[in-house]
Amino acid sequence: MTKKKAGMSRRDFLKTSATLSAGAMLGPYIARDAFAASRDRVTIYHSSVADSLHPYNHSSSPIYGNWQHVIEPLVELDYQKQDYVGVLAESWEFQGKRWVFKLKKGIKFHSGSPLTSKDVAFSIDRMKNDKLSLQGPNFKDVSEVQTPDDQTVIFVMKQPNAIFLDRLENRFILSKVAADKYGDKLDQNPIGTGPYKYVSYQRGGNFVFTRNDDYWGGKADIKEVVFRKVTEDAARLAALEAGQADFINNVPVHEVARLQRHPRVRIDQIEGLRMFFLSFNVAHKPFDNKLVRQAVNYSVDAPAIVKNIFDGIGYPINGPVGSSVIGADPKLKRYPYNPGKAKELLAQAGYPNGCDIQLYYSAGRYPNDREVCQVVAAQMVKGGFRVELISQEWALFWGNEGVNGGKLPFYYIGRGSLTDADTLYDQYFRTGTTKWANYSNPDVDKLIEEEQKTPDQKKRIVLLQQAGKILMEDVPFVPLYNLADIYGAARNLVWKKRPDERVVGLDMKIK
């Protein structure tokens, strides 16, 4: 046995240092490679992903974005043109009490069967009559869906409805052939006409789609798209920075400046269509009292929230809806921040010693929601309220024990894809559409009914403005602000920015 010298020989030293320096030089390249997004699979961490495989058991913009990979609507809104364009529909015509749609020819479902008017009628029927569907109210004016031939669908209305395209925008069409084949197992086998096919779904896990190579609209660039619901802002961001996710939504505003210098991450901002507000359910005390609702409006300072919580990247709403929404009225102003006035109104309403209320929200759903609600609570304290904050998991918050069942008296919410004031007024403030606010005012009902019958846009806007004026006086809600949607993406992933919170594989390309 040779006697080993203590320490390291020269040769060993050279070997080690060569290996180390090669490693040090290559390391960053290997790492950078791992960080770049790949054409084979794009992983999206989103704060809001489908909570079940039921295609109609939701009414939320980001979740429409999940489903539109697989199933498609008749029409969609082109945000640049500010007008509707056909997806499955070739053309359409408004004939008073009838809407007549012609379908595009040659579109096939993933299973191979052709798209026909029967599929449309079946899907609409399910949206309307399935107990779990949350999209039924869109068809409350539809008395019948006729299918005279395979390419023609006729919606027969109880009364003329000029804004029916808006109602049809997110109504996705399933295959009737598949429904007949799978029966009550249909939801485990979603079959549509979309650019992607369904692969797998786990609640709280991954929602996976793979490219439909025979897509009628041209093949997508990305092969596989994976959605994962991550409600924690910091967790999504960490995943993006670590290369685990290629795309995330709701990047916290306070991280934007740092990330703009990040070598592997790109930040995209766009003014969002989501309108944030505090909704009352006026069936609950004390919000049945108009004075209390006005007092809340006087005690919440939305501009201060935008300035401080969102670093000024946001757009406080003056009036019932944002200024770029159809039906906005530049003459209407928001209630100024005036806690003294709020206290006065509360005293008039019979609460001279203040009033105990609960504010519900679903932490992690919207940007900085936890902070927003804490600030709202503190502001309202100055207006004479004592506010208890209650955060609930979204499925509970939005479900039948929550907003949809009319059980929450006061909650923080955002209405996505809001381009026309009619959407908000009809959903929240028209008698009987939903139980979300339980507000009922015959004057508002009449104006909405009339506005929906009016094909002339200018006249329609006047009617919407009249409704808006009444709503600002009655305030069944506290309008707050629109935000910028802030996305983070791997640098080599390019996509067509959308203002509607949807992340769509078809919009993406790898550089």
For other proteins, the binding residues (CB under 8 A) are 233-234, 252, 254-255, 258, 304, 307-309, 363, 370-371, 374-375, 377-378, 388-389, 391
Interatomic CA distance for residues 290 and 23, integer angstroms: 70
Work out how close the CB of 182 gets to other proteins at its nearest, in angstroms, rounded to a whole number.
36
Nearer to other proteins, 275 or 387 (CB): 387
Work out how close the CB of 316 gets to other proteins at its nearest, in angstroms, rounded to a whole number.
15
Nearer to other proteins, 156 or 378 (CB): 378
Nearer to other proteins, 380 or 464 (CB): 380
Tokens 């786990």 -> residue:
202
Q: What is the CA radius of gyration of the chain?
A: 26
Q: By C-alpha distance, which of 64, 86, 83 is closest to 171?
A: 64
Work out how close the CB of 446 gets to other proteins at its nearest, in angstroms, rounded to a whole number.
42
Nearer to other proteins, 223 or 307 (CB): 307
- Strands 477-490, 265-280: parallel, antiparallel or unpaired by DSSP? antiparallel
- Strands 41-46, 224-229: parallel, antiparallel or unpaired by DSSP? parallel
Interatomic CA distance for residues 279 and 403, integer angstroms: 10
Which pair of tokens denotes residue 42?
A: 């794009």
Given a contact cutoff of 8 angstroms between Cβ atoms, the answer to whether 37 and 490 are in contact is yes
Work out how close the CB of 377 gets to other proteins at its nearest, in angstroms, rounded to a whole number.
8
Work out how close the CB of 301 gets to other proteins at its nearest, in angstroms, rounded to a whole number.
9
Work out how close the CB of 391 gets to other proteins at its nearest, in angstroms, rounded to a whole number.
7
Given a contact cutoff of 8 angstroms between Cβ atoms, the answer to whether 484 and 270 are in contact is yes
Work out how close the CB of 252 gets to other proteins at its nearest, in angstroms, rounded to a whole number.
6
Which pair of tokens denotes residue 221?
A: 């660039």
Nearer to other proteins, 302 or 332 (CB): 302
Nearer to other proteins, 53 or 395 (CB): 395
Nearer to other proteins, 166 or 485 (CB): 485
Burial 421-456 (b: 16+ CB within 10 A, else e): bbbbbbbbbbeebbebbbbebeebbebbeebbbbee
Alpha carbons within 13 angstroms on the beta-carbon side of residue 167 total 23
